């Protein structure tokens, strides 16, 4: 089976072109092929497939985390799916409509001098804010914005204790957004001082989040620039998360921490996000990179 290794600002996946290859059991394959020691290595497995019958889309994307669980969407991954479809001759539509677990999304892109896809602007769709739809197990009729999280947590369960909260200047107030997959955002003065490897799993699997959740800590530099660190549901610490950056943009507007257009600095690179508020979609712009291709014998 031929695979393609790709990444969107360091958020790397193993991709398979389902127009020419067949993957019968992606849930089992994902943890094996994504293993960074004994496999190809990546944050998971993503398949480029034909759109389902009756769906108005050019192609379909399915994504599986490194633990084999299937997720609805990946903002960095969908840019790479667009590049894979374009650069490998599957589809040259621009904008390209891609079916995901979060519906059909539209992507506009630019190409370089070699007619290879360069930058992609993704219409990420409208954010979902109703607690029951995120989902968050808090029975309130309004969005979860600046909600006091400290009452729900027992930091003694982690090896990090709770001294890091003061040390990093973390505000224990969460904002929850779904971009087709669930996200929680917290703000800090210095995200580099957060023990993400200990805090991330506790939040991801907390009973407040019945579908688990992607965790983001955000440091605000100005109205239009932030730095974020991510613990991704099912994958752990990742260099980037496109749906997460979109959720951070929405959270910034809702909390007043940042403006409607931001440059988000992630460990793997930068993304530009824009959300006009209310009933508007989020737009995300960033690169997609092909690293290498290979043959998987398994």
Would you tell me how many other CB atoms lie within 10 Å of the CB of residue 218? 27
Sign, Cα dihedral of 186, 190, 196, 198? negative
Instruction: Give the active site residue among 91, 176, 241, 249.
Output: 241
**Nearest-5° Cα angle at 91, 71 to 69:** 10
- The burial class, CB within 10 Å (0-12 / 13-18 / 19+), for 42 is buried
Q: Could you tell me which residues come within 8 angstroms of residue 177 by beta carbon, excluding any fewer than 6 positions away?
A: 127, 128, 129, 134, 183, 185, 247, 250, 251
- Which of these, 83, 59, 63, 84, lies nearest to 73 by C-alpha position? 63
Structure token digits, residue 3:
């695979």
CA distance 187 to 219: 6
> How deeply is 166 buried, as exposed, middle or buried, from its count of CB atoms within 10 A (0-12, 13-18, 19+)?
exposed
Structural Rg of the chain based on CA atoms: 19
74, 80, 82, 176: which one is catalytic?
Answer: 74
∠ Cα 132 142 245 (to 5°)? 75
Rounded-to-integer distance, Cα 284 and Cα 79, Å: 10
* Nearest 10 degrees: Cα torsion 252, 257, 259, 264: -60
CA dihedral 59, 16, 232, 238 (to 10 degrees): -120
Concerning whether 82 is annotated as a catalytic residue, the answer is no
- SS3 state of residue 258: coil
Catalytic residues, by residue number, are: 74, 241
């Amino acid at each position: 089976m031929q695979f393609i290794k790709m990444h969107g600002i360091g958020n790397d996946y193993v991709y398979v072109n389902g127009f020419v290859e067949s993957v019968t059991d992606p849930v089992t394959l994902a943890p094996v092929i994504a293993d960074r020691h004994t496999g190809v290595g990546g944050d998971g497995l993503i398949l480029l497939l034909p759109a389902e019958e009756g769906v108005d889309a050019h192609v379909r994307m399915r994504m599986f985390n490194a633990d084999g669980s299937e997720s609805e969407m990946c903002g960095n991954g969908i840019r790479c799916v667009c590049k894979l479809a374009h650069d490998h001759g599957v589809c040259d539509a621009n904008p390209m409509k891609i079916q995901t677990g979060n519906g059909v999304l539209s992507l506009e892109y630019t190409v370089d001098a070699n007619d290879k896809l360069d930058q992609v602007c993704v219409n990420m769709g409208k954010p979902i804010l109703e607690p029951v739809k995120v989902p968050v197990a808090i029975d309130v009729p309004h969005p979860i914005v600046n909600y006091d999280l400290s009452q729900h947590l027992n930091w003694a369960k982690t090896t990090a204790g709770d001294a890091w909260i003061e040390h990093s200047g973390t505000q224990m107030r969460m904002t929850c957004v779904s971009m087709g997959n669930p996200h929680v955002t917290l703000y800090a003065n210095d995200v580099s001082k957060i023990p993400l490897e200990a805090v991330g799993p506790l939040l991801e699997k907390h009973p407040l989040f019945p579908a688990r959740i992607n965790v983001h800590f955000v440091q605000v530099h100005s109205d239009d620039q932030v730095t974020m660190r991510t613990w991704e549901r099912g994958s752990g610490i990742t260099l980037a998360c496109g749906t997460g950056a979109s959720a951070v943009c929405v959270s910034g507007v809702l909390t007043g921490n940042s403006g409607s257009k931001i440059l988000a600095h992630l460990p793997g690179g930068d993304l530009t996000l824009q959300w006009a508020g209310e009933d508007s979609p989020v737009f995300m712009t960033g690169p997609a990179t092909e690293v290498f291709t290979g043959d998987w014998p398994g």
